[in-house]
Structure 1
C-alpha cells in the first residue's frame, strides 16, 4: 500500500511554505502526484443578499472588494505551490474551490489518498475558518494535520501509535501503513491495567506483511495516569 495522490491546502500565509515543502517531500517518498487546493468564498452573505433596501451599488462594491481580496491571496499561494512542485519535478494539479463550508473540500479529500491540512483553514474573502477535524471526520481516508510551526520535511522516522482494540484504531493503522513501513522506529502504546503485554500472533503477521515487523508494543498499566498524559509522556520518549 502507498499513497499515489496527495492533496495539500495552500493559502497566502507564511505557514503554507512549510506545509507545501512537507507535501512535496511526501510526494517524493511515495512517488505520488500532488494537488494544491485554495479555498475562497463564493456565496453572497445573507445580510446583503436578503436586505431588500440595500442599494445595488453596495452589493457590487462588496463583491468587487472581495474579488480583489481573493485575487491578492490567490496569486502568492498559487505561485508558491506551482514553483515548488515544478522545481521538485513533482506532477501536480491546482484547484480553486468553494470554502463557504466543508463539503467541497471534504469531497476533494475523498478523491485523494492522503490529505494534508493545517488545524484551521483560512478562506480567502471570508473571516471564518474551516476546521481540519471536520474534514477528517468526513473524508473517509487519512488526513495529516500539520501544526503551523515546529516540524521539518522528512518527519516520520519515529512514530507513536495510540492503540486500542477498536475499529477507529484499526482504521487509523490501515491508513498509516505507508508511514509505518517507512519509519525506523514504531511504537504502539496501549494504556490500561488489563492491556495485553504484547502483540498476538495474528497482529505480528499483519505487521510483518506490511514491512512493519520492527514495531514494538509498550503497555502503560498505571491506573492513576490519564490516557492523554500517558500518550504525552511516551511522545517525549519517541
Structure 2
C-alpha cells in the first residue's frame, strides 16, 4: 500500500509544530496529500448554566474558539508551505469531541498522525487520546513524541515482533516505510516457542518475509531478565539509532493493560521516537 493520503491532528500546543513538520516531511517523501484536522470541543456546560450565561457570554466563547482555530490553521499553513507541499495540503476545522472526530475522519486516510499526550498540557483543552483513535479509525497511527524534533522518520526502523495478529498487521501497514528504509531491525523480547511462538530462530520468519519485499533486515531476540519489556525495546531502539518504531498495539484488552500494565501503554507513555501502532 502506498501512502498517498495522510492526516495530522493539529492543535495550538507547543509540540504541534514538530508534529506538523513530521507529517509534512512524510507527505513530501511519499508524494502524498496531507490533511490538517483541528477539532474544537464545545464548552462542557449544563444547559441550565449555558442559559444563565446569556448570549453575550456565549458569543465571547465562540469568538475565543474561533481565534484558537485560526491560530492552528495559521500554524499548519505556515509549516506545509515551508515543507513545499502547500498545493497538496488541506485544512479541516470541525466541532465535536476531538478524539471521536479524529477517529471518524481518520478512516479516510492511509495514516493518522497524532501527538503523544503531554503531561504538562493545558488541562482545560481536551486531548486527543491516541489509543481510542487507534481502535476507532481502523488505520495505522503514527504517534509523535511531545518532546524533540524528528528530521528523519523511517531511515532506521525497529520492528517490535511477537508473532501476534497485531504485530503482523503493523508490519504490513509499515511496508511503505520498511521498503524505503536504509536498515530495519526486528526485535523479539522474551520470545515464546511452540506452534504459537516464534520458532527455533525468533524473528527469522518475519525477516524472510520482509527480505522478499527487498527490505534490508536483520533479526535479534533478547530476554528482559526482570527489565520492563517496553524499556528493553526503547533501549534497543537507542542502540540501533532507530528513528521509527513499528509495533502492534493492545494484544490484550485495554482494561487488562490498565490494571496489569503492558508494553503498548508503556511505550505510549515513555516513547522517545515516533511509533507506528496498528491494532
Partner of 2:31: 31
Q: State how far apart, in whole Å, the 1-side matches of 2:228 and 2:150 are.
A: 30
2:201 to 191, 197, 200: 197
Alpha-carbon shift at residue 45 of structure 1 (Å): 3.3
Equivalence map 1:218-229=2 (5 Å)? 218-221=220-223, 223-229=225-231
What residue ranges of structure 1 are gaps of 5+ in the alignment? none
| 2:59 corresponds to 1:64 | yes
Q: Check 1:210–1:138 CA distance in 2 against 1; reply closer, same or farther (3 A cut).
A: farther
After TM superposition, the score normalised by the length of structure 2 is: 0.73
Note the residue ranges of structure 2 that are not aligned, 5 or more in a row.
Answer: 241-279
Q: CA deviation at 1:34?
A: 0.6
For residue 149 of structure 1, report the CA deviation from its aligned partner: 2.1
2:5 aligned residue = 5
- Flag as ranges the 4+ runs of structure 1 deviating above 3 A: 193-196, 198-201, 221-226
The structure-2 alpha-carbon separation of the partners of 1:120 and 1:68, relative to structure 1 and needing over 3 Å to count, comes to farther
Indicate the residue corresponding to 2:44 in structure 1.
45
1:133 is displaced (CA, Å) by 1.7
The one-character-per-residue Cα deviations of 1:55-98 (angstroms, maximum 9, x if unpaired) are: 3xx14234212212212212221122123324513411111112
| Corresponding residue to 1:162 among 133, 136, 160 | 160
1:1-55 CA-partner distances (Å, limit 9, x unpaired): 221001011122232211111111100111100101111023x5342x1459x43
| The one of 110, 134, 144 aligned to 2:107 | 110
Aligned residues of 1:38 and 1:95 also touching (Cα < 8 A): yes
Distance 1:13 1:45, change over 3 A: closer
Per-residue deviation, 1:198:
4.8
Change (3 A) 1:89 1:200: closer
Number of aligned residues: 229
Structure (1 or 2) with the larger CA radius of gyration: 1
Which residue of 2 is the match for residue 235 of structure 1?
237
What do you get for the CA RMSD once the two structures are aligned?
Answer: 2.6
**1:91-150 CA distance string (max 9 Å, x none):** 1111111242522211111100011111239xx9x6332312211121211111101222
Deviation at 1:230, TM superposition (A): 2.3
Is the aligned partner of 1:140 residue 2:138? Answer: yes
> Does the CA-based 8 Å contact 2:6-2:35 persist in structure 1?
yes
Deviation at 1:222?
A: 5.1
Q: Is the 8 A contact 2:39 2:101 kept in 1?
A: no
**Secondary structure in structure 2 of the residue aligned to 1:13:** coil
Contact 2:159 2:186 in 1 (8 A): yes
Contact 1:97 1:105 in 2 (8 A): no
SS of 2:128's equivalent in the other structure is: strand
